[in-house]
C-alpha cells in the first residue's frame, strides 16, 4: 500500500490562532482525507513550536513562566483542529520529552560528523525573526519582514556547515521539479542559492542571553537555535530513528506559508542530508491571506478569528471558501462579503438547489424511492462524459494541492446537472406519464449527486456525510475508491429511499455592522423603576368587513404563481418565522420568510404546492432575505395554505 505523510508547520505560540493557521490546518486535513479516499494510508501531523526569544519575552510580559505560557497557547492550537473539522493523527509540542531527546540525538550525530563547529560571529539580529541577517539581506537597514532595525550582536556560537551542501541542494531541486511547488517558489529558492555562496547557519544561543531552549548535548552552556529545533519535529513525531511510523511514512509532504520558505527549502533539506536522512518528498507553499487586500495585523485590528467565522457560517462553508478562494501559491483576500458570496452562489444556489429540487421531485414522482434506469440517450451519455472529465480534473488538481482549480472542475458537473434537469424537464415527463424516461433522468442525476458528495468529503466532510445520508446511503470512507469513481457507474441501488428535503446551505446575508456612533453612545442611566402597569384587555374585534374596492388594473399588478416547497427550516432568530425555498419555474428557487411557524411545522410544508406573491419587493426579516409572500386563508381558529385544486407546473400563474 502506498502512503502519504503531510505536515503543517508547527505553529509558534507567541500569539493565538488566526486565519492563516486555520487555512494551513484545513489544507493539510483535506489532503489527508483525499489521499485516504484514493486508497493510501495517510498520516497528518501538526503541533506547536515553543522555544526561543519571542516565547521567553511573551511569557515575561504575561507574568508567567515560559512553560506555563506555552501550555496555554498550545492548548488554543490543539483545539483548532476540532473547531475546523480537522483530525490530525498526532499533535506534537517541541517541549515534549521525546522531541527534545531526538533533537539532541540529531545534534550529536551532525556534531560528530564534523558538520557543526564553534566560532565567533557578528551580525544583525532580529528578535522578531530570531535570526541573524547579513547586510545584503536588510532593506534600508531594516528587517525585511518586521520593518525594524536589527540589533548588532557579536558572540561565540556553534555553526552548522550548511554551505557544504549548496551544490547538492541545487542539483536535487533541478532534478525533482515537485520538490518545491508551485514553480514560482522553486525558482525563488534556486535564485537565492545561485546568487552567491550559501553561508553557514548559526544554530546556538548562549545561555547568558537565552535559557528557554533545548540544551546542546555537547555543550551545556548553549541552547539550540529555535529553527534547528523546530524542523526536527517532522521526524521526531514519527519516532526517528527506529520508530515504526518513521519507517512507514517518511518522507513527508510539507504545507507552509511563503514567509517560512527559506527555513524549509534550505535549512531543512541540508540538515536532513547532514544527518544521513532522505530529503522530504515535497514542499507545498501557499500565499498570505489578506483582509481587504491588507496583510493581517493586530495593530490594524483586521485579524480574522476562525471561531467567529465558524460560529457565524458553519464549518462546511468556511472550509469550502478557504479551499476554493486561494489559488495555490498566490495571496488571497478575505472578506465576509466574499465568503457569503461563495456560500450563496456555489453552495446555496448551485449545490443546495440541486439537492433541494431533486429530493422534492423524487417524493413527488416516485414516493422518494430511487427508480431503475432504462435506455440512455445521447444527452445522458454527454452528461456522463462531463462527469468523468470533472472528476478526473478534480482528482489530478487536488493531488497537486490545487484545491481552487479542483473545486471549479467539480462545479462544472454541479452546474451541468442543474442544466440537465432544466433541459430534461422531469415535470413535463411526469405530466405526460413517461415514467420510464423520468426514472432514467432522475437516476442519472442522483448517481452524479452521490459522486459529488464523495468528492466533497475531503473539503467539507460534515456536509458530505449528510448529503450521502440524504441519498439513502451510509458513508464509509474505507469502502470508497475515489480513483475509480470517474469510471464506475450504478452504485446507487434502486429502491433506496431518499430524504424528503435538504437544507444544508440556506442563503445568508452579511451581518450589518453596528455604526460606530451607536457604539459610542452610552445607554441612558436607569431611573427609579416604576411598577409596570398591566395593559388593558383588548376589546373584542368586530368581524372584518369587505376591503376597499380596487380597480382591475390594480389586481393585474400582482404576480401570483403556484410553486412547490422544496425545503423549509425554522428561522435561526425568530420563533414564529419559517425560511422556505419554493420552486417557481425559475433557474433558482425563491427564498421566502413566512410567519407560519405557529401553525405549520417545516415537515408540513415540504412537497406542498403553494400560491406565492412573486413580485413583492424583497426585504430582510430578522436578517434573512425574503423574496415573496406565501398566501394563506385564515379565520380566528384555522389557517390553511392557499393552493391549487390539482397538480400545476411550478411557476403556473394565477389569473
Beta pairing partners, 583: 564
Residues 470 and 557 in one domain: no
Asked if residue 370 lies in contact with residue 443, where contact means CB atoms within 8 angstroms, the answer is yes
Q: Is residue 71 part of a domain?
A: no
C-alpha span between 16 and 27 (Å, rounded): 19
C-alpha span between 565 and 189 (Å, rounded): 57
Which band of pLDDT confidence, cut at 50, 70 and 90, is reported for residue 569? Answer: confident
Give me the sheet containing 131-133, strands edge to edge: 131-133, 116-126, 151-160, 201-202
> Of 484, 506, 531, which closes a domain?
484
Would the pLDDT of 535 be above 60? no
CA 99 to chain centre: 30
Asked if residue 623 lies in contact with residue 511, where contact means CB atoms within 8 angstroms, the answer is yes
CATH number, domain at 581? 2.40.50.140
Which band of pLDDT confidence, cut at 50, 70 and 90, is reported for residue 585? Answer: confident
The CA distances from residue 66 to 58, 62, 523, in Å, are 8, 10, 42
CB under 8 A, 24+ apart: contacts of 493-496: 493/370, 494/369, 494/370, 494/371, 494/372, 494/443, 495/369, 495/370, 496/369, 496/370, 496/471, 496/472
Residues 349 and 446 in one domain: yes
C-alpha span between 44 and 32 (Å, rounded): 6
Q: Is residue 569 part of a domain?
A: yes
Q: Is residue 389 part of a domain?
A: yes
Q: Give me the helix-helix angle, 435-455 and 353-366, nearest 10°.
A: 150
Would the pLDDT of 558 be above 50? yes
**Range in 160-169, 450-459, 507-516 with the lowest mean pLDDT:** 507-516
Q: Is residue 123 part of a domain?
A: no
* Average pLDDT of the residues in 29-49: 98
pLDDT at 511: 65
Which band of pLDDT confidence, cut at 50, 70 and 90, is reported for residue 542? Answer: very low
pLDDT at 522: 38
Residues 466 and 565 in one domain: no
Q: Is residue 581 part of a domain?
A: yes
Asked if residue 427 lies in contact with residue 649, where contact means CB atoms within 8 angstroms, the answer is yes
C-alpha cell at 483: 480513483
Residues 472 and 556 in one domain: no
pLDDT at 513: 53
C-alpha cell at 528: 427609579
Residues 350 and 464 in one domain: yes
User: For the residues of 320-335, what is the DSSP string, one character each?
Assistant: HHHHHHS-TTS-EEE-
pLDDT at 136: 74
pLDDT at 292: 77
pLDDT in tens, 158-214: 999 999 999 999 999 999 999 999 999 999 999 999 998 899 999 999 999 999 999
Q: Which residues, including other chains, have CB under 8 Å from residue 166's CB and lie 6 or more apart?
A: 193, 197, 198
> Of 484, 509, 535, which closes a domain?
484
Domain tally for the chain? Answer: 2
Would the pLDDT of 617 be above 60? yes
Check residues 4 and 599 and name the one with the higher pLDDT: 4
Check residues 158 and 540 and name the one with the higher pLDDT: 158
pLDDT at 624: 87
pLDDT at 523: 37
pLDDT in tens, 330-377: 999 999 999 999 999 999 999 999 999 999 999 999 999 999 999 999
Q: Is residue 625 part of a domain?
A: yes
The CA distances from residue 321 to 81, 128, 296, 462, in Å, are 17, 31, 18, 15
CATH number, domain at 374? 1.10.730.10
Q: Which residues, including other chains, have CB under 8 Å from residue 633's CB and lie 6 or more apart?
A: 639, 640, 642
Beta-sheet strands, E only, within 144-280: 151-160, 180-181, 201-202, 204-206, 215-216, 219-224, 253-257
Neighbours of 66 (CB within 10 A): 22
- My answer on whether omega of the bond before 182 falls inside 30° of 0, hence cis, is yes
Calculate the dihedral angle through the C-alpha atoms of 288, 140, 300, 261, rounding to the nearest 10 degrees.
20
Calculate the dihedral angle through the C-alpha atoms of 141, 147, 151, 152, rounding to the nearest 10 degrees.
-30
Containing structural domain, residue 608: 552-653
Would the pLDDT of 27 be above 90? yes
User: For the residues of 517-552, what is the DSSP string, one character each?
Assistant: HHHHSPPPPPPPPPPPPPPPPPPPPPPP-PPPP--H
Check residues 643 and 537 and name the one with the higher pLDDT: 643
Q: Is residue 407 part of a domain?
A: yes
Check residues 453 and 134 and name the one with the higher pLDDT: 453
Would the pLDDT of 638 be above 80? no
**Average model confidence (pLDDT) across the chain:** 89
> Of 484, 507, 528, which closes a domain?
484
Closest CA to 309 of 86, 75, 22, 623: 22
Residues 446 and 579 in one domain: no
pLDDT at 301: 72
Most confident option among 52-56, 121-125, 404-408 = 404-408
Which band of pLDDT confidence, cut at 50, 70 and 90, is reported for residue 543? Answer: very low
pLDDT at 144: 82
Percentage of the chain beyond pLDDT 90 is: 70
C-alpha cell at 537: 384587555
Q: Provide the residue count of the chain.
A: 655
Which band of pLDDT confidence, cut at 50, 70 and 90, is reported for residue 646? Answer: low
- The phi, psi pair for 201, rounded to 5°, reads -105, 125
Residues 577 and 451 in one domain: no
Would the pLDDT of 461 be above 80? yes
Q: Which letter does DSSP use for residue 150 in this model?
A: P
Furthest C-alpha separation in the chain: 102
Would the pLDDT of 442 be above 80? yes
pLDDT at 298: 66
Residues 365 and 476 in one domain: yes
C-alpha cell at 85: 473539522
Would the pLDDT of 618 be above 50? yes
Which band of pLDDT confidence, cut at 50, 70 and 90, is reported for residue 228? Answer: very high
Q: Which residues participate in catalysis according to the annotation?
A: 18, 21, 126, 129, 143, 146, 295, 298
Residues 357 and 476 in one domain: yes
C-alpha span between 485 and 530 (Å, rounded): 71
Would the pLDDT of 318 be above 90? yes
Q: Is residue 377 part of a domain?
A: yes
The CA distances from residue 161 to 158, 165, 209, in Å, are 10, 8, 23
Residues 475 and 608 in one domain: no
Amino acid at each position: 500500500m502506498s502512503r502519504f505523510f503531510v505536515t503543517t508547520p508547527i505553529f509558534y505560540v507567541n500569539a493565538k490562532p488566526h486565519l492563516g493557521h486555520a487555512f494551513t490546518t484545513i489544507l493539510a486535513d483535506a489532503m489527508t482525507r483525499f489521499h485516504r479516499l484514493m486508497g493510501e494510508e495517510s498520516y497528518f501531523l501538526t503541533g506547536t513550536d515553543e522555544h526561543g526569544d519571542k516565547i521567553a519575552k511573551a511569557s515575561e510580559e504575561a507574568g508567567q513562566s515560559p512553560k506555563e505560557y506555552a501550555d496555554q497557547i498550545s492548548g488554543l492550537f490543539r483545539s483548532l483542529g476540532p473547531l475546523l473539522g480537522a483530525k490530525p493523527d498526532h499533535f506534537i509540542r517541541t517541549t515534549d520529552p521525546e522531541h527534545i531527546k531526538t533533537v539532541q540525538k540529531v545534534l550529536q550525530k551532525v556534531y560528530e560528523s564534523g558538520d557543526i563547529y564553534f566560532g565567533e560571529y557578528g551580525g544583525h539580529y532580529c528578535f522578531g525573526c530570531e535570526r541573524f541577517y547579513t547586510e545584503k539581506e536588510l532593506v534600508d537597514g531594516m528587517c525585511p519582514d518586521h520593518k525594524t532595525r536589527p540589533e548588532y550582536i557579536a558572540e561565540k556560537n556553534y555553526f552548522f556547515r550548511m554551505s557544504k551542501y549548496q551544490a547538492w541542494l541545487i542539483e536535487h531541486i533541478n532534478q525533482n521539479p515537485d520538490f518545491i511547488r508551485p514553480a514560482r517558489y522553486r525558482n525563488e529558492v534556486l535564485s537565492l542559492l545561485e546568487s552567491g555562496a550559501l553561508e553557514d547557519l548559526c544554530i546556538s544561543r548562549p545561555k547568558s542571553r537565552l535559557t528557554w531552549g533545548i540544551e546542546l548535548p555537547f555543550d551545556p552552556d548553549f541552547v539550540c537555535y529555535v529553527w534547528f529545533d523546530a524542523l526536527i519535529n517532522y521526524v521526531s513525531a514519527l519516532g526517528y530513528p527506529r520508530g515504526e511510523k518513521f519507517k512507514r511514512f517518511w518522507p513527508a509532504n510539507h504545507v507552509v506559508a511563503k514567509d517560512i520558505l527559506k527555513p524549509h527549502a534550505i535549512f531543512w533539506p541540508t540538515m536532513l542530508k547532514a544527518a544521513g536522512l532522505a530529503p522530504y518528498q515535497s514542499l507545498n507553499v501557499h500565499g498570505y491571506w489578506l483582509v481587504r487586500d491588507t496583510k493581517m495585523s493586530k495593530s490594524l485590528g483586521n485579524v480574522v478569528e476562525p471561531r467567529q467565522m465558524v460560529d457565524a457560517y458553519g464549518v462546511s462553508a468556511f472550509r469550502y471558501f478557504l479551499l476554493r478562494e486561494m489559488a495555490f501559491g498566490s495571496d488571497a483576500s478575505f472578506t465576509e462579503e466574499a465568503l457569503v458570496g461563495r456560500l450563496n452562489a456555489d453552495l446555496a444556489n448551485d449545490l443546495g438547489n440541486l439537492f433541494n429540487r431533486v429530493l422534492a421531485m423524487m417524493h413527488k414522482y416516485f414516493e422518494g424511492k430511487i427508480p431503475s434506469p432504462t435506455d440512455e440517450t445521447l444527452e445522458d451519455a454527454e452528461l456522463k462524459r462531463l462527469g468523468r472529465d470533472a472528476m478526473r480534473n478534480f482528482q489530478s488538481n487536488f493531488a497537486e494541492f490545487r484545491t481552487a482549480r479542483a473545486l471549479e472542475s467539480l462545479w462544472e458537473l454541479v452546474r451541468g446537472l442543474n442544466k440537465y434537469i432544466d433541459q430534461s424537464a422531469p415535470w413535463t415527463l411526469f405530466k405526460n406519464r413517461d415514467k420510464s424516461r423520468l426514472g432514467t433522468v432522475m437516476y442519472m442525476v442522483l448517481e452524479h449527486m452521490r459522486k459529488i458528495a464523495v468528492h466533497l468529503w475531503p473539503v467539507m466532510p460534515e456536509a458530505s456525510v449528510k448529503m450521502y445520508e440524504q441519498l439513502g446511503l451510509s458513508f464509509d470512507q474505507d469502502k470508497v475508491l475515489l480513483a475509480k469513481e470517474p469510471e464506475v457507474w450504478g452504485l446507487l441501488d434502486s429502491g433506496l429511499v431518499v430524504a424528503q428535503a435538504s437544507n444544508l446551505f440556506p442563503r445568508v446575508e452579511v451581518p450589518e455592522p453596528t455604526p460606530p456612533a451607536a457604539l459610542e453612545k452610552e445607554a441612558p442611566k436607569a431611573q427609579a423603576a416604576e411598577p409596570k402597569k398591566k395593559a388593558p384587555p383588548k376589546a373584542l374585534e368586530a368581524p372584518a368587513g369587505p376591503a376597499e374596492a380596487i380597480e382591475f388594473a390594480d389586481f393585474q399588478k400582482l404576480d401570483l404563481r403556484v410553486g412547490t416547497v422544496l425545503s423549509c427550516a425554522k428561522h435561526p432568530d425568530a420563533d414564529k418565522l419559517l425560511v422556505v425555498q419554493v420552486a417557481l419555474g425559475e433557474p433558482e428557487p425563491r427564498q421566502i420568510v413566512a410567519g407560519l411557524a405557529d401553525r405549520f411545522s417545516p415537515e408540513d410544508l415540504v412537497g406542498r404546492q403553494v400560491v406565492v406573491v412573486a413580485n413583492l419587493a424583497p426585504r430582510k426579516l430578522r436578517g434573512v432575505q425574503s423574496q415573496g409572500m406565501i398566501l394563506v386563508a385564515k379565520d380566528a381558529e384555522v389557517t390553511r395554505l392557499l393552493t391549487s385544486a390539482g397538480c400545476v407546473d411550478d411557476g403556473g400563474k394565477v389569473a
